[in-house]
Structure 1
């Protein structure tokens, strides 16, 4: 019986650790949504943004601050960061909450690699 309980405890502890690795984080940066995707550029990294209802809402709210479709807007969002298994940026952000959207203060909003 002890031989079964000990490995079972390790499995439970390991699975709980994996769940915690997907904790929600708050990120601020420059957001851009175009027809084929969305990105969030922070001071240190660029994230691909998963397209979901909140991403669409963020894009709609951002349009009020854009003078053309390629203007970025300053946003603060909460979301889950996971490795991006598709082509593009190395991390994928799934937005879970929109905190703020405003006109970008940055003159140079180019996406860096």
Structure 2
């Protein structure tokens, strides 16, 4: 039994060290971009994030799904504008539209349900139809 506990402690120690090295690499990569570089454009200095992904608004919930993350979208005038632009590319209310936006990523309040991050849309760059092959919606019909 003592050998099993010792093995478990050693395994946990190695696993935690492995995660720390990944965090160190991420920190090093982000530090390699100099935020005070005079060659950065005004858009690069405004603190907004460029995101491209699949946007859907349905039943008072808006979601932006990128390749890396899923964001809840803050319900405001810009989200309403984006939804109106996306409507022309949707065949059904649950269809997605591919969007490119710039916005402010904010963490979700701890006392609320949902995805860990929200995006507050500040600028809409592009809206287009989604690839129908990637629109994974299951439809139930009765005949």
Global fold match (TM > 0.5): yes
Unaligned runs of 5+ in 1: 1-21
Deviations, residues 2-52 of structure 1 (Å, cap 9, x unaligned): xxxxxxxxxxxxxxxxxxxx9201000000011221000000110000011
CA distance in 1, matches of 2:132, 2:101: 18
Partner residue, 2:120 = 94
Superposition pairs of residues 6-17 of structure 1, within 5 angstroms: none
CA distance in 1, matches of 2:102, 2:131: 21
Give the C-alpha shift of residue 62 in structure 1.
Answer: 0.4
TM (norm. structure 2) is 0.59
TM (norm. structure 1) is 0.75
Superposed CA RMSD in Å reads 1.7
Superposition pairs of residues 40-59 of structure 1, within 5 angstroms: 40-59=64-83
Partner residue, 1:74 = 98
SS, match of residue 113 in structure 2:
coil
Partner residue, 2:87 = 63
CA distance in 2, matches of 1:27, 1:71: 19
Unaligned runs of 5+ in 2: 1-45, 138-143
Which is richer in helix? 2
Q: Which has the higher contact order (CA 8 A, sep 6+)?
A: 1
Structure whose alpha-carbon radius of gyration is higher: 2
